């Protein structure tokens, strides 16, 4: 009996020792990376004693920057002063991509995962969680008879929705190619932007419905019956018109399950890139449904040989939309966007038809930095 007890004690000791070997009990000071300095420069640090080369790439350092190795084996780089913004980056150690082990915050964009950090001030303060009343974010499954499946969308309801009885206007917000119903929440900071704009009195309280614009996808990769499939940029159903044709299923679900004002003056639709095209196509095909339309970094993008009914006789549909009337048609794009010329062509078409719109041209390209700006500017114009 004593021998058995001794064996058990030794086993417990060995297991405990092995567990401790996998935990760092070092009293060495934690590495801070990235460190946002008082002057809005940012310092990156990485402990990689055996590495020969370390660099950082991201929108904070467009060309990529090489870190310098210190005597302690810590590689360091300090950027120039950065403007307020949500930035993304990755390390490359001897040519191999690596996450920053000292930064727990990552975001997926299509199939790319990157670290992120926020430089406060200016427009970036809209992206922060501040001490204001907060809305609720829900992921809802709905039946789509048109697509003959059950699909998911994300819904933001403003602060006070649950405790009130009032009805709200709704903004339908659509992602770009490679995105899904999570994109505007995670990359676009929609909940934070809406919370802050509403609290500041700059935007009306509204419901925001973020859809999945991929007709052959029920939900974001890894969160549907497809399992852990690799996200792809362009899916096979992108330009078949199915997303646009089935949009009525979304409106039906939202207006049946939320306290919504069910008239044209209380509906808006907007999207970025592919979602911008979806927005302009849907609003043109249903000209008595939306009084507000936002086209971010987009134009009419479907292939010329597409036979989808939603894209046919499009100029005729635009004329009907013009004649039917609307309150706001808002177009925004960066002057370095690869779709800049296509956007200009689309605006020339609208000009030739005397189709009224507001135009916002910014610097930069096809980026979430611009799309967050566009949402921040577009939302305050709605339902006034």
Residues 172 and 280 placed together within one structural domain of the fold: yes
* Res 239: pLDDT: 79
Q: Provide the token pair at 230.
A: 């690799």
Q: Does residue 23 belong to any structural domain of this protein?
A: no
* Res 15: pLDDT: 39
* Res 4: pLDDT: 44
Q: What is the pLDDT of residues 338-350, one digit of tens each?
A: 999 999 999 999 9
Q: Does residue 16 belong to any structural domain of this protein?
A: no
- Examine the fold and report which residue of 87, 119, 151 is the final residue of a domain before the chain moves on: 119
Task: Give the CA count within 13 Å in the CB-facing half-sphere of 264.
Answer: 14
Q: Provide the token pair at 220.
A: 């974001």
- Examine the fold and report which residue of 75, 94, 119 is the final residue of a domain before the chain moves on: 119
Q: Does residue 13 belong to any structural domain of this protein?
A: no
* Res 226: pLDDT: 83
Q: Does residue 335 belong to any structural domain of this protein?
A: yes
Residues 103 and 136 placed together within one structural domain of the fold: no
Residues 361 and 268 placed together within one structural domain of the fold: yes
Percentage of the chain exceeding pLDDT 70: 92
Residues 270 and 318 placed together within one structural domain of the fold: yes
Residues 102 and 133 placed together within one structural domain of the fold: no
Q: Does residue 17 belong to any structural domain of this protein?
A: no
Residues 244 and 327 placed together within one structural domain of the fold: yes
Percentage of the chain exceeding pLDDT 90: 79
- Examine the fold and report which residue of 92, 119, 146 is the final residue of a domain before the chain moves on: 119
* Res 245: pLDDT: 94
Number of compact structural domains in the chain: 2
Quote the CA–CA distance of 277 and 343 in Å, as a whole number. Answer: 11
Q: Does residue 222 belong to any structural domain of this protein?
A: yes
Residues 251 and 376 placed together within one structural domain of the fold: yes
Examine the pLDDT at 8 and tell me if it is beyond 60: no
Q: What is the pLDDT of residues 120-169, one digit of tens each?
A: 999 999 999 999 999 999 999 999 999 999 999 999 999 999 999 999 99
For the chain, give the longest Cα–Cα distance: 97
Q: What is the pLDDT of residues 222-261, one digit of tens each?
A: 888 888 888 777 777 777 889 999 999 999 999 999 999 9
Eight-class DSSP state of 13: H
Strand, helix or coil for residue 52: coil
Q: Provide the token pair at 246.
A: 């089935």
Q: Does residue 274 belong to any structural domain of this protein?
A: yes
Cβ atoms within 10 Å, residue 94: 12
Residues 200 and 260 placed together within one structural domain of the fold: yes
In which domain, by residue range, is 58 found?
35-119
Residues 282 and 217 placed together within one structural domain of the fold: yes
Q: Does residue 352 belong to any structural domain of this protein?
A: yes
Examine the pLDDT at 380 and tell me if it is beyond 60: yes
Q: What is the pLDDT of residues 70-94, one digit of tens each?
A: 999 999 999 999 999 999 999 999 9
Helices (H), 31-78: none
Mean confidence (pLDDT) of the chain: 90
Quote the CA–CA distance of 303 and 294 in Å, as a whole number. Answer: 22
Q: What is the pLDDT of residues 36-49, one digit of tens each?
A: 999 999 999 999 99
Examine the pLDDT at 24 and tell me if it is beyond 60: no
| Cut 0.85: pTM above it | yes
């Amino acid at each position: 009996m004593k021998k058995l007890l001794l064996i058990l004690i030794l086993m417990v000791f060995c297991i405990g020792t092995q567990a401790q070997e996998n935990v760092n009990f070092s009293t060495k000071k934690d590495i801070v990376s990235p460190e946002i300095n008082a002057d809005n420069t940012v310092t990156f640090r990485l402990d990689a004693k055996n590495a020969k080369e370390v660099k950082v790439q991201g929108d904070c350092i467009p060309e990529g920057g090489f870190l310098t190795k210190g005597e302690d084996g810590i590689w360091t780089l300090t950027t120039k002063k950065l403007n307020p913004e949500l930035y993304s980056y990755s390390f490359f150690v001897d040519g191999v991509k690596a996450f920053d082990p000292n930064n727990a915050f990552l975001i997926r964009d299509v199939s790319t995962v990157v670290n992120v950090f926020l430089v406060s001030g200016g427009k970036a303060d809209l992206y922060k969680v501040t001490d204001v009343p907060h809305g609720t974010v829900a992921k809802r499954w709905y039946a789509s008879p048109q697509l003959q499946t059950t699909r998911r969308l994300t819904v933001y309801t403003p602060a006070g929705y649950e405790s009130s009885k009032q009805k709200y206007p709704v903004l339908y917000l659509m992602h770009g190619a490679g995105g899904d119903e999570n994109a505007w929440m995670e990359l676009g900071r929609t909940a934070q932007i809406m919370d802050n704009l509403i609290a500041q009195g700059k935007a009306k309280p509204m419901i925001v419905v973020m859809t999945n614009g991929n007709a052959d996808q029920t939900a974001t990769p890894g969160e549907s019956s497809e399992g852990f499939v690799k996200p792809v940029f362009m899916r096979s159903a992108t330009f078949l018109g199915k997303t646009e044709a089935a949009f009525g299923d979304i409106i039906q679900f939202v207006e049946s399950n939320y306290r919504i004002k069910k008239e044209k003056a209380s509906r808006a639709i907007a999207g970025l890139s592919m979602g911008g095209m979806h927005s302009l196509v849907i609003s043109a095909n249903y000209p008595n449904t939306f009084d507000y339309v936002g086209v971010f970094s987009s134009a009419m993008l479907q292939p010329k040989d597409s036979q989808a009914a939603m894209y046919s006789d499009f100029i005729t549909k635009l004329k009907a939309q013009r004649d039917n009337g609307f309150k706001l048609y808002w177009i925004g794009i960066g002057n370095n966007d690869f779709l800049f010329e296509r956007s200009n062509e689309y605006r020339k078409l609208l000009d030739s038809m005397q189709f009224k719109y507001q135009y916002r041209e910014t610097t930069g390209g096809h980026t979430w930095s611009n799309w967050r700006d566009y949402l921040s500017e577009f939302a305050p114009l709605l339902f006034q």
